[in-house]
Amino acid sequence: MTQETVISCQNLKHSYGEKHVLNGLNFEVQSGGIFGLLGKNGAGKTTTINILMGFLRPLSGACTVLGEPSNAISPQTRRDIGLLHERFIQYDFMSIQEIERFYSQFYPRWEHDVFYDLVGRLDVPKTRRISRMSCGQRSQVVLGLIMAQNPKLMLLDDYSMGLDVGYRRLFLEFLQEYVRERGTTVLVTSHVVQDLDKLIDQMIIIQHGKTLVAGSKDTFLSSFHHYSLPHSPQTERLVSSQRIANVEHSRTRTHVYTYLSALEFGERIERLGLSRESISETPMDFEDAFIGITGKY
């Protein structure tokens, strides 16, 4: 299948009053896969989604979504976008079965079975009003409504909010199979990355409104390393640079998160007058690497 650009953002800048949130953000999302828009709390993920959907006008820069400018998406194209937005659910006075019937009228590719595959697992009767459901149960209904639309593009902002660990796992497995079968393009935002390792292919990590990492998650994981060595006045001279993302000193050790290979890092350490034998490398999973590059605070 040939890939198309589904989302393109160029030089996005946005501020709320004096607070600069996006400082020239660029990224593209290609069709057919799960893309992660990641960053710590307050990094600007929801702001970016609001700009993509045309709810917010950026100070400068531009985005296209499914080939249309984000500030002028046509009603037809909007129907091809499934949006999970802060778990917001309209018409929560309806019951599960009423809301399913209601939504199905607006979406030509509606899939009744997908909705009940996800929502039928809830231990509540179909006649239960949404407003009388728990926060996690409401999230499950919203996800069912989005997936049943069979959209070309899904934007899932903080999909995991309120979901228990079992349902989160179930949903992620369901989503992966769904994307494989239909070729849907999905953009997920999250600050909780422990679930995303198996889910996403391409990603961008944003911090201070700019791109910290962009591209394939696997390439990032294979080229990013965590080395540590005994803390000393010499290791205090290791500072962040283009290839050293983050240096943290504890009382006894210095931890370095870097794109330098073991060989290159060894040379760097020897130039400080230390032995490369003192270095140890700690393997990182995706969450470790995310914390390593963004910092703990």
Ligand X SMILES: Nc1ncnc2c1ncn2[C@@H]1O[C@H](COP(=O)(O)OP(=O)(O)OP(=O)(O)O)[C@@H](O)[C@H]1O
Residues that bind ligand X (CB under 6 A): 16, 19, 21, 39, 41-47, 158, 191
Q: Which is nearer to ligand X, 47 or 95 (CB)?
A: 47
The answer to whether the CB of 66 falls within 8 A of the CB of 81 is yes
Q: Which is nearer to ligand X, 21 or 118 (CB)?
A: 21
What's the CA gap between 56 and 76, in Å, rounded? Answer: 20
CA angle 168, 173, 176 (to 5 degrees): 120
Cβ at position 184, least distance to ligand X in Å: 22
Report which DSSP code applies to 242: S
* Encoded tokens for 199: 């889910």
The answer to whether the CB of 63 falls within 8 A of the CB of 10 is yes
What's the CA gap between 155 and 255, in Å, rounded? Answer: 36
Cβ at position 48, least distance to ligand X in Å: 7
The answer to whether the CB of 184 falls within 8 A of the CB of 178 is yes
Cβ at position 89, least distance to ligand X in Å: 18
Could you tell me how far CA 153 lies from the centroid of its own chain? Answer: 14
Sheet with 19-30, edge to edge strand ranges: 19-30, 5-16, 60-65, 68-69
Cβ at position 124, least distance to ligand X in Å: 28
Q: Which is nearer to ligand X, 46 or 137 (CB)?
A: 46
H or E segment at 238?
none
Q: Which is nearer to ligand X, 124 or 214 (CB)?
A: 214
Cβ at position 123, least distance to ligand X in Å: 29
Question: Cβ-count burial of 139 within 10 angstroms (0-12 exposed, 13-18 middle, 19+ buried)?
Answer: buried
Cβ at position 135, least distance to ligand X in Å: 16
Q: Which is nearer to ligand X, 40 or 79 (CB)?
A: 40
* Encoded tokens for 35: 């893309």
Q: Which is nearer to ligand X, 65 or 193 (CB)?
A: 193
